[in-house]
Structure 1
């Protein structure tokens, strides 16, 4: 059973390891894992150490199975990582629902996120949950020494209310 909760500072090492495993799966074939692994681990640890209060955690059987975050607590979901060994069990869906609910409670009208264009599993996951492509971009990545295609996705969280009098806003 999946349990959703907010992170604690002592979760940081386990969250970073889940993030690393999911990141490695996501960038396989796009980046040289060996060249980037240490930088990625450092980035996860730094981000989580500074922002653990903004992290929603999914536990499965008492162990951390995934996490999601909004770094600036705005409309952008900056992270959603599920341990590859535990994917396709509803953990990502539960995390996404929890972070979207948090956003709605904060009156955030749309949810935005991005991934690299070759991350077909992530694109399918988000499209199946109501996200659509909002933008496409190609930018040079010095770390990868090549152009990387990115996709921005968006979902409307709060529907526009009709303005006016009577039924239908007339």
Structure 2
């Protein structure tokens, strides 16, 4: 059974490890050097330590199994990580719905995110949950010594009213 809750300050290492495992799976198609993995570990630790108040956690039978964050508490999901050993159990969908509800509650009519284009599992997951690709960019990543393609995805959260007399 899954449960959605806010992150706790004492979970920095647990959330960092979840992020690293999910990140390693995601970058598999483009490769990651040891140096890049060390940089990712530092970045995850620093982010979780400084932003744990902005992180939403999904638990699987009482164990943290994934997390998401919106750094600016706006309409953009900046981090979305499900531990590979907990994937395909509905946890990602539950976490995504919780993030969407927070964005909707914040008064936004749509939600957005981005991922690298070769992360086909993530792109497919978000598409199945109603997200559509609305941009593609290619940028050189010096640490990978190659071009990396990214996609931006958006989902409309609120539909315009079609009721009689609605203002346009």
User: 2: CA distance between counterparts of 1:33 and 1:131?
Assistant: 31
Asked if residue 157 in structure 1 is aligned to residue 122 in structure 2, the reply is: no
1:32 paired residue number: 32
CA RMSD of aligned residues (A): 1.5
Say whether the 8 Å CA contact 1:139–1:147 is kept in structure 2. Answer: yes
Structure 2: gaps (5+ residues):
none
CA contact (8 A) 2:19 2:81 kept: yes
**Aligned counterparts of 1:41 and 1:67: Cα–Cα separation in 2:** 16
What is the alpha-carbon distance in structure 2 between the residues aligned to residue 166 and residue 74 of structure 1? 31
Match of 1:91 in 2: 91
Instruction: Please list every run of at least 4 consecutive aligned residues from structure 1 whose deviation after the TM superposition is greater than 3 angstroms.
Output: 165-170
Asked if 1:121 is matched to 2:121, the reply is yes
Alignment of 1:17 onto 2:17: yes
Superposed counterparts of 1:59-78, under 5 Å: 59-78=59-78
2:69 is the counterpart of 1:44: no
TM-score (norm 1): 0.94
Give the 3-state SS of the residue equivalent to 1:67 in structure 2: strand
Q: 2:148 — aligned with what?
A: 148
| Inter-CA distance 33–93: structure 2 relative to 1 (3 Å threshold) | farther
The TM-score, its normalising length taken from structure 2, stands at: 0.95
Distance in 2 of aligned mates of 1:138 and 1:149 = 4
Go from structure 1 to structure 2 and tell me whether the alpha carbon gap of 1:70 and 1:82 turns closer, same or farther (over 3 Å shift).
Answer: same
> How big is each residue's C-alpha offset from its partner over 1:126-145, in whole Å with a ceiling of 9 and x where there is no partner?
00000001100001112212
More off after superposition, 48-57 vs 137-146: 137-146
SS in 1 for 2:57: strand
- Per-residue deviation, 1:40: 0.3
Query: SS where residue 134 of structure 2 aligns?
Result: strand
State the aligned residue count: 168
